[in-house]
Amino acid sequence: MVTSIDIKKVSNRDKVVVDLDVWMDNPDDHDFSPRASLSGNSLEMRDANDTDILATIDLDDDALQMAERDRVVEARIKFSVHGMHGTLTHKTPNPRTGPKSKKLAEPRWKVMLPLQ
């Protein structure tokens, strides 16, 4: 279950892009359905399974016009789990160096959310 949503940044490109940090209690939680809605000039984020508003941010005039025009926002979501994703005290060297290295998997999502 989603504990909290933090809105990191809102930017305007061809559409409104919202960067979110989503905090979960359990790493086995796979039940997250984000919903976005406009209330005045603020963007509200919530989970479909929960009626509470988890995060709000005020949009500037350009972002508000784009959101009302397109009626959709792009959400870039980074997942974290309480107790698992903290600050490392002993960091290992970057394993992504070398000619045959592979990028490590990250718990990220990109989704288009219709505004309600």
pLDDT > 70? residue 22: yes
pLDDT > 90? residue 43: yes
pTM, rounded to two decimals: 0.78
What is the domain partition of the chain in residue ranges? 2-84+103-114
Q: Both tokens of residue 43? A: 């963007």
Please tell me the predicted confidence (pLDDT) of residue 75: 95
Taking the mean position of all CA atoms in its chain, how far away is CA 116? 17
Alpha carbon distance 14, 112 (integer Å): 13
Confidence tier at 24 by pLDDT (50, 70, 90): confident
Alpha carbon distance 50, 32 (integer Å): 10
The mean per-residue pLDDT over the stretch 82-106 comes to 65
